[in-house]
């Protein structure tokens, strides 16, 4: 276990040169460490990202770069390893470090050991980013010093140097990040929901759930576990966590938590029921987003936000890019971008946000999901399924006879197929149920391409 907080003279292997890896390397270099940054991608693809590190290394620490693959020797000859979120700890090269007794830490673990202030940890299969950002906005609306951080964009380690005891970090955490924690302890942690995801990595859902539940492993009775009472797998954690359970529900009224009553959001956290605001004041679509709002409000209240400040923030919150994001109306047809719907359950929630008349664009790189569970909703609400990418054949086979199915070579053709068949009042919806990496750099890239094409079509009709 790494306990020494002095890095001068130490050699640290940082695995993954994306945002978290770059931020970790910069933090360690500034403290005099010798940093070896490794990534499977060739240096040409990473040159722009690593340029700021060269400047840091010129004045402090020492930087070595190993790109285009991983050197097993580097995993044996370092004081500890820092892992970026997207790097699987099952890679054989990590066994080299384990055999040598070298600590392997997630970036959030490194950050935790240096951050002042409190951490709110947010995980789950879907809704993490929306809940993370909304929680930070609710805290900020109450006058508290809040930051949104983690897997949704800004690495937690980026805040460590300038952090203060008054800061609150609303932090999105993936199962991958939680695999690499040791001492990480959030003052309040939330698991929003648990449905099969990343089965290509975990194989069975029990291993995936165990990774998520690590969020609570270092908590005590002084901390809080915010859990979805309507999700069977999540609700079961209330009996196992060492912290105080706080439940949220659309369907029941837990004794301690947040729930709905008569179309109103009610909090019972203060010992008696308190009316916060009406469901109709929530500005983002979908029943799943009501759950995200309940979780955000619970976290914010537990962190000290005032109940009186919440209504105004909720009214003004319009959601997050690539999460059921309205893009345009063309000839009476609405276009929505839910590129972040990268698993089957997220696509179910996306479809459920509309009563019918959906022209659904789905497909990409299969994450091991069971597409057949989409059958009832596709039959009921999807008028045309447009499949694309590596999973096109599996989607077609899983959903045959449910609705009309078309196949597209790329995003432009998919959108045009939707536009050709959609009638006024209907919806063209990108909700892929798959990862993006077969055709795009990321789900954000996929969503941006969708939006750019839709907006160009809209502009041509004016």
DSSP alpha helix (H) spans, 164-260: 175-179, 199-202, 205-213, 232-235
Are 357 and 383 in contact by the 8 Å Cβ rule? The answer is yes
Q: For the chain, which ranges sit under pLDDT 50?
A: 1-4
Are 192 and 124 in contact by the 8 Å Cβ rule? The answer is yes
The CA distances from residue 389 to 186, 200, 413, 432, in Å, are 39, 17, 12, 10
Q: What pLDDT, on a 0 to 100 scale, did the predictor assign at position 157? A: 95
Residue 9: how many CB atoms within 10 A of its CB? 10
Question: Taking Cα atoms as reference points, which of 361, 364, 406, 356 lies closest to residue 382?
Answer: 356
Question: Taking Cα atoms as reference points, which of 373, 372, 400, 368 lies closest to residue 385?
Answer: 400
Question: Hey, which residues does 34 pair with through a beta bridge?
Answer: 11, 62
Element (H, E) at 47: helix 43-59
Q: In the 8-state DSSP scheme, what is residue 156? A: G
Q: What pLDDT, on a 0 to 100 scale, did the predictor assign at position 459? A: 85
Report d(CA 340, CA 343) in Å as an integer: 9
Distance of CA 382 to the CA centre of its chain: 26
Q: What pLDDT, on a 0 to 100 scale, did the predictor assign at position 154? A: 87
Report d(CA 46, CA 58) in Å as an integer: 19
Q: In the 8-state DSSP scheme, what is residue 411? A: H
| Each residue's pLDDT tens digit, 150-201 | 877 789 999 999 999 999 999 999 888 999 999 999 999 999 999 866 656 6
> Which two three-digit tokens encode residue 11?
């050699």
Mean pLDDT of the chain: 93
Q: Cβ neighbours of residue 450 under 8 Å, at least 6 residues apart?
A: 327, 337, 339, 361, 411, 415, 430
Are 299 and 122 in contact by the 8 Å Cβ rule? The answer is yes
pTM (predicted TM-score)? 0.80
> Which two three-digit tokens encode residue 440?
């795009």
**208-235: burial string, b at 16+ Cβ within 10 Å, e else:** bbebbbbbbebbeeebbbbbbbbbebbb
Domains along the chain with CATH numbers: 11-102 (3.40.50.720), 109-316 (3.40.1190.10), 325-460 (3.90.190.20)
Q: What pLDDT, on a 0 to 100 scale, did the predictor assign at position 433? A: 96
Report d(CA 9, CA 434) in Å as an integer: 44
The CA distances from residue 457 to 328, 330, 331, 334, 419, in Å, are 10, 8, 11, 13, 10
Q: What pLDDT, on a 0 to 100 scale, did the predictor assign at position 1? A: 38
Token pair 């938590």 in the structure block, residue: 257
Q: How far apart are the first and last CA of the chain?
A: 63
| Each residue's pLDDT tens digit, 85-108 | 878 888 899 999 999 999 999 999
Are 234 and 205 in contact by the 8 Å Cβ rule? The answer is no
DSSP letters for 433-444: SSBSTTTSSSHH
> Which two three-digit tokens encode residue 447?
């969503």
Q: Cβ neighbours of residue 221 under 8 Å, at least 6 residues apart?
A: 242, 243, 244
Report d(CA 234, CA 209) in Å as an integer: 9
| Each residue's pLDDT tens digit, 391-437 | 999 999 999 999 999 999 999 999 999 999 999 999 999 999 999 99
């Amino acid at each position: 276990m790494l306990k020494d907080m002095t890095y001068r003279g130490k050699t640290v292997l940082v695995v993954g040169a994306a945002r978290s890896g770059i931020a970790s390397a910069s933090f360690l270099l500034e403290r005099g460490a010798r940093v070896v940054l490794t990534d499977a991608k060739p240096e040409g693809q990473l040159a722009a990202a690593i340029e700021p590190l060269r400047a840091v290394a010129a004045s402090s620490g020492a930087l070595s770069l190993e790109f285009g693959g991983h050197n097993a020797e580097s995993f044996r000859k370092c004081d500890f390893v820092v892992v970026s979120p997207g790097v699987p700890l099952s890679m054989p090269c990590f066994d080299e470090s384990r055999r040598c007794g070298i600590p392997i830490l997630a970036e959030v673990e490194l950050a935790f050991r240096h951050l002042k202030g409190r951490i709110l940890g947010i995980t789950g299969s879907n809704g993490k980013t929306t809940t993370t950002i909304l929680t930070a906005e609710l805290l900020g609306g109450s006058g508290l010093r809040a930051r949104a951080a983690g897997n949704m964009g800004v690495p937690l380690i980026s805040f460590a140097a300038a952090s203060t005891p008054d800061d609150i970090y609303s932090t999105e955490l993936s199962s991958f990040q939680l695999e690499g924690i040791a001492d990480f302890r959030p003052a309040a942690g939330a698991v929003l929901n648990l449905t099969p995801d990343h089965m290509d990595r975990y194989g069975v859902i029990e291993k995936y759930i165990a990774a998520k539940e690590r969020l609570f492993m270092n908590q005590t009775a002084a901390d809080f576990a915010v859990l979805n009472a309507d999700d069977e797998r999540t609700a079961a954690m209330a009996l196992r966590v060492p912290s105080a359970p706080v439940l949220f529900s659309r369907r029941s009224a837990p004794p301690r938590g947040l729930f709905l009553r008569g179309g109103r959001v009610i909090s019972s956290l203060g010992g008696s029921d308190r009316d916060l605001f009406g469901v109709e004041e929530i500005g983002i679509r979908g029943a799943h987003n009501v759950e995200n709002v309940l979780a955000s409000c619970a976290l914010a209240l537990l962190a000290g936000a005032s109940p009186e400040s919440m209504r105004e923030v909720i009214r003004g919150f319009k959601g997050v890019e690539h999460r059921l994001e309205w893009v345009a109306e063309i000839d009476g047809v609405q276009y929505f971008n839910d590129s972040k719907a990268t698993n089957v359950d997220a696509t179910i929630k996306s479809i459920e946000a509309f009563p019918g008349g959906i022209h659904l664009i789905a497909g990409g790189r299969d994450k091991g999901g069971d597409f057949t569970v989409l059958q009832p909703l596709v039959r009921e609400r999807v008028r045309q399924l447009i499949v694309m990418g590596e999973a096109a054949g599996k989607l077609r086979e899983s959903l045959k006879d449910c609705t009309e199915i078309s196949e597209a070579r790329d995003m432009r053709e998919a959108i045009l197929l939707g536009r050709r068949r959609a009638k006024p009042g209907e919806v063209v919806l990108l909700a892929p149920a798959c990862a993006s990496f077969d055709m795009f750099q990321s789900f954000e890239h996929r969503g941006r391409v969708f939006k750019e094409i839709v907006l160009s079509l809209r502009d041509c009709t004016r």
